[in-house]
């Protein structure tokens, strides 16, 4: 009698190991994609907050209204405080804060000095 010997194809064990390796690889790629998305979101918000800080500083510099205040622009909270540093010199502290996708509070800040005509 002749024995049947299968020399072609894969065994079930080889297929299972290949599926496990593929699954782990795809999970790691998914994790990398999530990290990249978080990084892109942080970068976008940090850039936007820096632009909003600069915009507020220019508004305070060119306007006559040098009062403390706060506002919200594009889900970014801006707070600014103005204090007297010396005669004709005001210190401006501006903080922009926001929450990322995970709910963490992040912030960006700027300090500048503005020359004024009043004492």
**CATH number (domain holding residue 88):** 2.20.25.110
Closest CA to 91 of 49, 57, 46: 57
Is residue 4 in a domain?
A: no
Report the C-alpha gap between 51 and 64 in whole angstroms.
21
Report the C-alpha gap between 88 and 103 in whole angstroms.
41
Per-residue pLDDT of 75-88, as tens digits, reads: 999 999 999 998 88
68 — phi, psi (to 5°)? -65, 155
Per-residue pLDDT of 105-118, as tens digits, reads: 999 999 999 998 76
For 79, the token pair is: 């707070």
pTM, two decimals, is 0.72
Number of separate domains in the chain: 1
Closest CA to 44 of 81, 88, 75: 75
Is residue 63 in a domain?
A: yes
Enclosing domain of residue 76: 12-115
Is residue 94 in a domain?
A: yes
Is residue 48 in a domain?
A: yes
């Amino acid at each position: 009698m002749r024995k049947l010997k299968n020399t072609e194809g894969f065994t079930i064990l080889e297929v299972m190991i290949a599926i496990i390796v593929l699954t782990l690889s795809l999970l790691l790629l998914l994790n990398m994609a999530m990290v990249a998305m978080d990084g892109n979101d942080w970068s976008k918000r940090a850039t936007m907050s820096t632009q909003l800080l600069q915009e507020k500083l220019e508004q305070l510099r060119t306007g006559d209204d040098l009062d403390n205040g706060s506002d919200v622009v594009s889900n970014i909270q801006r707070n600014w405080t103005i204090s007297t540093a010396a005669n004709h010199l005001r210190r401006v502290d501006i903080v922009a804060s926001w929450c990322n996708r995970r709910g963490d509070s992040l912030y960006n800040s700027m300090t500048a000095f503005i020359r004024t005509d009043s004492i």
